[in-house]
Amino acid sequence: MKGLWYDLVNLFFPRLCQACGNALAPADEEICLHCMFLLPYTNFHLDGENAMEQALWGRVPVQGAAAFLYFNKGSRVQHMIHRFKYRGRHQIGTFLGRIYGYKLVKQPPYNTVDMIIPVPLFKKKQLKRGYNQSEVFAKGLAMALGVPVETNLLFRIRESESQTRKSQDERWENV
C-alpha cells in the first residue's frame, strides 16, 4: 500500500518505530534504520566460548548457545520487548526472529538445526496473553532458517513462580 494513499494515511496515523518511537520510513518494518544499526547485538553466535555457553557448561550438554541482544533497563531493547510481551505487538517478535535467523543461517552449528522448539508457556498464561512470545519469535527464526517450528514436543507441566526472588541455582531447579 505505497503511494499517495500510503502517504495520506501515514500523515494522520504515522507508523512508529517500536524501539525509539520515531516515525518509520515507508521501507522500514517495525524498527527504524537508525535503531537497527544501534541495537546492542551480542554476536554470541560467532564466539564458541560466549557467556551464554559458559553459563551452561557443566549443567547440560550443548553444541552451541547464543543470545540475540543485550538487555539494559530503559533501553531500546526493553522498550521493544515490553511492547512485544505486554502490548500485543507480536509482529515485533516475528520480525526480530527473522533478522536473527538471517544472522544465524550461515553459522555452524545453527545452520544445521532440524527444527525449532519454543519454550512453552503455562496454558493459563498463554490464554491471558493471547500468544506465546517464544513461539512468535521462533516463527521468525524458522522462516529465515528454513526449518519447521515444533510446538507439540515440549509442555510446561506446572506454573513457575516468579523467578525474580530466587537464587540462580533455585531458578535452574524451578525451570
Residues of span 34-63 touching Zn ion by CB under 5 A: 35
Grid-cell match 541455582, residue found: 169
- Residue 80 touching Zn ion (CB under 5 A): no
Amino acid 134 reads S
Give CA angle at 68 (138, 167), nearest 5°. 95
Choose among 173, 172, 174, 104: nearest CA to 138: 104
Q: Are 78 and 103 in contact (CB under 8 A)?
A: no
Name which of 35 and 138 has its Cβ closer to Zn ion: 35
- Residue 121 touching Zn ion (CB under 5 A): no
- Residue 19 touching Zn ion (CB under 5 A): yes
Name which of 44 and 100 has its Cβ closer to Zn ion: 100
- Residue 92 touching Zn ion (CB under 5 A): no
Name which of 17 and 116 has its Cβ closer to Zn ion: 17
- Residue 17 touching Zn ion (CB under 5 A): yes
Name which of 35 and 141 has its Cβ closer to Zn ion: 35
Q: Which residues contact 139 (CB under 8 A, 6 or more apart)?
A: 93, 94, 97, 149
Name which of 36 and 52 has its Cβ closer to Zn ion: 36
Choose among 6, 28, 7, 9: nearest CA to 17: 28
* Among 5, 6, 8, 32, interactor with Zn ion by CB under 5 A: 32
* Helix-helix angle 90-104:133-145, to 10 degrees: 40
* Among 16, 20, 117, 147, interactor with Zn ion by CB under 5 A: 20
Binding site for Zn ion (CB under 5 A): 17, 19-20, 32, 35
